[in-house]
Amino acid sequence: FLSLVAQFCCGFFVILILGNFWFLGVLYLLWLYLDWETPCAGGRRSQWVRSWTVWKYFREYFPIHLIKTSDLNPNHNYLLGFHPHGVLVAGAFGNFCTGPTFKNLFPGLTPYLHIMPIWFGCPFFREYVMSAGMVSASKESVSYVLNNEGGGHASIIVIGGAEEALNAHPGSLTLNILKRKGFIKMALKHGAHLVPVFSFGENELFKQVANPKGSWLRNIQERLQKIMGFALPLFHARGVFQYSFGLIPYRQPIHTVVGSPIPVKQNLNPTSEEIDQLHALYLQKLRKLFEEHKRNYGIPEHKSLIFE
């Protein structure tokens, strides 16, 4: 979805540069140069954009729900680990970038959804995603958000990243997390409390072409992902007037459950052992969150998370 919108924006920019209004394209390039660091400095959100009526229909289409299990004290900063990535990351966008739901459930907290830096190099598209409250997933950007001394900031990071999107098959519960410890280190360095978040239904929105590990398709996808920085899952769902084939996601409910915070004491120079210890605790809390809520959202009793 993001890539399609980004392609449209890039195409519009090329038309602008090559057309009669080339001077507007040149002015925008100057703006892009001067504004290059903004995605790493908290972005530039617009409450007007975040409140567009279209987002209300977007959330109601699935529908998307945000479930609170514990209070989050606005005097602290938080790092929310979002799982799983899915194809669309609909739960993250719908709950943290649109509407008043998050603000109503967690008053005093401002959410920042971190996405890949590559998106902020796309003309015009970067302005749109920043308006929705998205910022870069670079270390500098996460540090900027979590460095707020007064608290009240919440970094949302989709931990599995692009690689996990290739596992986004209906019924899949595989998370790419065992080697992903950078977010743990960031939480320790800034004393940001960790909060596991699991979005039930995220992998049910599309059907993906079979791509088991070791297959020729998976090998190509992984190579492209390393080159471009984002994954290219081959997926389909429903059409506008029929349900057999198309790119519109299925109407499957999404329940994004926000877990209890894991208190983290600031440690500017954490050791590998300290990072591993907190990472293990995070995995434990994430698994517990999933097990406590899976029955409510149609997950069979015998199903459990798979960490790889």
pLDDT tens, 57-103?
Answer: 999 999 999 999 999 999 999 999 999 999 989 999 999 999 999 99
The domain containing residue 214 runs over which residues?
40-307
In this prediction, residue 8 carries a pLDDT of: 60
54 and 28 within one domain? no
In this prediction, residue 240 carries a pLDDT of: 83
142 and 24 within one domain? no
85 and 2 within one domain? no
130 and 91 within one domain? yes
Q: Is the pLDDT of residue 19 over 90?
A: no
221: closest CA among 207, 235, 200?
235
pLDDT digits (tens, 9 = 90+) for 99-153: 999 999 999 999 999 999 988 988 888 899 999 999 999 999 999 999 998 999 9
295 and 216 within one domain? yes
The tally of domains found in the chain comes to: 2
pLDDT band at 13 (very low <50, low <70, confident <90, very high): low
Can you list the alpha helix ranges (DSSP code H) found in the chain? 2-18, 22-34, 47-50, 53-61, 90-96, 101-105, 125-131, 139-146, 161-165, 182-190, 216-228, 272-293
